[in-house]
Structure 1
Amino acid sequence: MAEVQEKRKGITTSKGIENFSVPEGRKKARLAVSNGGYGGLALEARTDREAKSWLYRYRVVDKTVEQQLGSYPQMGLAKARKKHREAAELVRQGIDPRKHRKAEKARNQAAWTMSEAFDRWIEFYASSPSRSGKVPTERTVSKQRGRWRLYLEKPLGGAYVRDMSRRYLIEVLEQVATRAREEGRQCLTLLRQLLDYCEDREQIEDNPAAGLKPAKIKARPGKPRERYLKLPELKALWEAIDEKQIVLDGVASSVVLSASVANAIKLLLLTGARRAEVAAMRWVEVKKDTWTIPAERTKSGREHKVHLSALALVILAEQHRLSKSEFVFESSRDAAKPIHYDTITTAVARLQGRSRKDHEDSAPLYQLEHFTVHDLRRSVATMWTETFMADPLLVDAMLAHVPPRLVGTYNKGKRYQIQIDVWEKWGSTMAEITETSPEGNVVFMSHKN
């Protein structure tokens, strides 16, 4: 009697669902399933099927229709009730759940996962010029790919773009920043750009990374470096370079420095140019005492002129004898290529005994406070300002910094002659403290073949 009563009222328990079967003599049977005020849910059993079916019967636009929600036992009672309630709410809004499901399926097929989004974005990023008009270098694009692969792909790659939330991004980025603070900052920038790209392509309504600051992910920027070398330290560096540059057929006897790398560091000290600009310097860029760095090789995307002092010309004269290619500082491994700018960084680290995890206290500059290649550029700028009282804006122009907007707009005169004077005085100062004698007027019209 209890069993008959349960059938008349409808199934209310998982046990009832499990026990429900087709009565003898029939091919199928259907029984209502209670769901807290939402009607129309039923369970159907058939003799030709092992699984039972969850069905939802409803009326829409004056027509009675039904939708299959799933199968039992793959879909249990709790999940069936949840899916039924969702469908019933759509009906209350006048929406046919069957059409909604088709639309949702189509939307899912058109939706990108984060991995798919990254693959699309990185191609867009690699070919998109910045404000300077230059596209990212291959090295920069490679770094972005590496950050994604190392830090972001595992926690984010399989998720849909539309499911990204600010809270979850903060969690992921905090983990990155805990491992490497600067990489946390860089990954934040990457995600901002990636999700901006997705927002523009209507994969997400709003970018959850927009306005997210490094402090929120515990990647607050560190204190800006202020290290610069004073004249006695610059003298020690120059002497250490000479000590390690005993030249034999263009290559130093010590593994620390080749002639090209040694002279590249010296030219970097004399000009204040960036390491990449010096490393890839070409003979065609040098006319008499002027080195013109083309726009495509400068960070600002603007052509930049550098005056070569007498001491700088002496260094180029030595390279002129050693180089057999179009490059001033050709590689000792492949004459058709220049030295790599990272080679300069490695050489400076070796001179300080810091190129490996275990420091070498026998290195010639081990006793100096640690400095980087960029610190040398800062050292030169500081000396120009403090020793020769050069105007900071003039020094910025000599370093090829992009001027402030108003200055760039209204002050077109670069006062190049004053810059020449500073470069010459600086060359004389370096020649004096290193006891190097500039050898007169050395002029390069073209490189020998």
Structure 2
Amino acid sequence: MWLASEKLGYPFGPMVRLLLLTAQRRSEVSGAQWPEMHLSGNDQQWIIPPERSKNGKEHFVALAAEAIREIEALPKVRPAEDEEPVFLFTTTGVTKVSGYGRAKKNLDAEMLKLAKEEAKAAGRSADKLELEAWTFHDLRRTAASGMARLGVPVHVVEAVINHRSGSIKGVAAVYNRYDYAEEKRRALIAWASHVKQVTES
């Protein structure tokens, strides 16, 4: 998927890679806005405002170096010549990107092409090779599962993905207002490092 996304180009290629690197929802990534990005200093993060967060709460997403590289490489499409850019992923500058279905088909086609090339290079038949069905939301599951596999505790994974499934219950759920900022940062850095290792091998 990572290699195929590089064939797609902007806006969907980098959008898909950020879905995987940040573990956030498709609507949150596709609608990400430049003012939400804090890329300078030692605490680089993406702050998703309450009105764009599914649970209605402001959400802080630590940005690993790999995610920052993706963001900094994006073109800045302005709504008008004298206006500041708003959306990270847009073709008009006025609205966020759309057309996920077509983008997914193009991505699948590139993935299948790469898989067939890999099979042929290994001396295997590629004639009946098919992709398993998957969705963009699966990238969020992949990231969550991957972080857990790397030893990240479940409550930290849930904090990263801004999900409240109830791993912290009862009195602890009422009084625990700690946002696990440093733990989330370590988790996303470890995950991004793992993704980089896998995609470059």
TM-score (norm 2): 0.78
Query: CA, structure 1 residues 408+345, in 2 after alignment: closer, same or farther (shift >3 Å)?
Result: farther
**Does the Cα contact within 8 Å between 1:308 and 1:423 map onto a contact in 2?**
yes
**Does the Cα contact within 8 Å between 2:36 and 2:48 map onto a contact in 1?**
yes
- Identity of matched residues, %: 28
* 2:99 paired with 1:348: no
Output aligned runs, 1:8-407, within 5 Å.
Answer: 237-245=1-9, 259-288=10-39, 289-319=44-74, 321-324=75-78, 325-330=85-90, 332=91, 334-340=92-98, 343-353=99-109, 364=114, 367-386=130-149, 388-404=150-166, 406=170, 407=172
Measured after TM superposition, the shift of residue 428 of structure 1 is: 1.6
| Paired residue type of 1:378 | R
Measured after TM superposition, the shift of residue 391 of structure 1 is: 1.0
- For 1:291 and 1:318, the matched residues in 2 are separated by 16
- For 2:38 and 2:175, the matched residues in 1 are separated by 29
Match for residue 140 of structure 1? none
Range with greater deviation from structure 2 (368-377 or 400-409): 400-409
Question: Structure 1, residues 257-302: CA drift from partner, whole Å, max 9, x if none?
Answer: xx01111111010000000000111111111211000011011111
Question: Structure 1, residues 40-65: CA drift from partner, whole Å, max 9, x if none?
Answer: xxxxxxxxxxxxxxxxxxxxxxxxxx
**Does the Cα contact within 8 Å between 2:5 and 2:12 map onto a contact in 1?**
no
Measured after TM superposition, the shift of residue 426 of structure 1 is: 1.3
- For 1:422 and 1:345, the matched residues in 2 are separated by 30
Aligned partner of residue 95 in structure 2, secondary structure: coil
Measured after TM superposition, the shift of residue 375 of structure 1 is: 1.1
Match for residue 418 of structure 1? 183
Q: Which has the higher contact order (CA 8 A, sep 6+)?
A: 2
Query: CA, structure 1 residues 400+346, in 2 after alignment: closer, same or farther (shift >3 Å)?
Result: farther
Kindly name which structure, 1 or 2, has the bigger radius of gyration based on alpha carbons.
1
Aligned partner of residue 61 in structure 2, secondary structure: strand
RMSD value over aligned CA atoms? 2.3
Structure 1 runs (4+) deviating above 6 angstroms are: none
TM-score (norm 1): 0.37
Measured after TM superposition, the shift of residue 350 of structure 1 is: 3.3
- For 1:361 and 1:328, the matched residues in 2 are separated by 24
**Does the Cα contact within 8 Å between 1:240 and 1:364 map onto a contact in 2?**
yes
> Structure 1 or 2: larger strand share?
1
Match for residue 154 of structure 1? none
**Does the Cα contact within 8 Å between 2:4 and 2:111 map onto a contact in 1?**
no
| Paired residue type of 1:275 | R
Query: CA, structure 1 residues 410+346, in 2 after alignment: closer, same or farther (shift >3 Å)?
Result: farther
**Does the Cα contact within 8 Å between 1:352 and 1:370 map onto a contact in 2?**
no
Aligned partner of residue 183 in structure 2, secondary structure: helix
Measured after TM superposition, the shift of residue 395 of structure 1 is: 0.6
Measured after TM superposition, the shift of residue 322 of structure 1 is: 4.0
Measured after TM superposition, the shift of residue 396 of structure 1 is: 0.9
**Does the Cα contact within 8 Å between 1:349 and 1:372 map onto a contact in 2?**
no
Aligned partner of residue 11 in structure 2, secondary structure: helix
- For 1:337 and 1:345, the matched residues in 2 are separated by 17
Measured after TM superposition, the shift of residue 328 of structure 1 is: 1.1
Measured after TM superposition, the shift of residue 402 of structure 1 is: 2.4
- For 1:264 and 1:309, the matched residues in 2 are separated by 15
| Paired residue type of 2:86 | E
- For 2:101 and 2:139, the matched residues in 1 are separated by 11
Structure 2: runs of 5 or more not aligned: 79-84, 116-128
